[in-house]
Amino acid sequence: MEDIEAIAALQDPVRRRLYEYVVAQGREVGRNEAAEAAGVARTLAAHHLDRLAEVGLLESGSRRLTGRSGPGAGRPAKVYTRARAERAVSLPARDYRTAAELLAEAAEQAGLDAGLCTAARRRGEALRGSAAPCGGLDEAMEMLAARGYEPHLEGVEGVAGEVARVVRMRNCPFHAVAERFPPLVCGMNLALLEGLLGTDGSVRARMDARPGECCVVVEASKSNID
């Protein structure tokens, strides 16, 4: 019932806009910033943000937004980030997570990593269908967003001080299982995205694990850079 209450809290359009904004930032967000982004008064934003924290969709804390400390630094402000807990509702009840964990455990023990990656790559290709391989990072972001990865662009300094763009993903759709079987599931995820994006186009997927994000990043292929 708690999950139902949490998801139902997003039915309010203002509350949903506030939640989506906080989630998209990947950092702590203050009330003033959230209110401005949603186009509502600060008091209304505070009410909805606190409600989202109450049902467990957001986590709240406090810090000085000025970045200063000591006298004259101002009072700490309330800030919000996405809650780490997952929420899901299924009627009637289903338990796909346990099935996925059991299958992952069996595959890992049997050494079926290569077979799993082959199947994942085929599934990615099937999801892409007859479309050509991904033509660029903007197109890749659209495809990844549709799959729930929550992609965002980030600049990375390369050779000779050049800054290249890479796509990182704030969400891993396989997070719960990947936590228990990281090599197996992260390898599967990479193969799936290789099939989805294509390996002979303008972008490539590669491993670059970072805490709190998907283990795969997408960047321009070397031939496209050169």
Angstrom distance (rounded) from CA 226 to CA 224: 6
Angstrom distance (rounded) from CA 129 to CA 4: 35
pLDDT band, residue 1 (cuts 50/70/90):
low
21: CB partners within 8 A, 6+ apart: 29, 34, 37, 38
Examine the pLDDT at 226 and tell me if it is beyond 50: no
E strands present in 24-144: 29-30, 58-63, 77-82
pLDDT tens-digit readout, 45-104? 999 999 999 999 999 999 876 665 655 556 788 999 999 888 888 889 899 999 999 999
174 phi/psi in degrees, rounded to 5? -110, 25
First to last CA, the chain: 54
pLDDT tens-digit readout, 189-200? 999 999 999 988
Question: What H or E segment, with its residue span, contains residue 157?
Answer: strand 151-157
Output the CA torsion sign for 71, 72, 77, 79. Answer: negative
pLDDT band, residue 159 (cuts 50/70/90):
low
What pLDDT was estimated at residue 212?
Answer: 85
**Per-residue tokens: 89:** 């509702």
**Per-residue tokens: 208:** 């670059």
Examine the pLDDT at 214 and tell me if it is beyond 80: yes
What pLDDT was estimated at residue 93?
Answer: 87
Output the CA torsion sign for 35, 39, 40, 41. Answer: positive
3-class secondary structure, 141: helix
3-class secondary structure, 164: strand
What pLDDT was estimated at residue 41?
Answer: 97
**Per-residue tokens: 205:** 């997927």
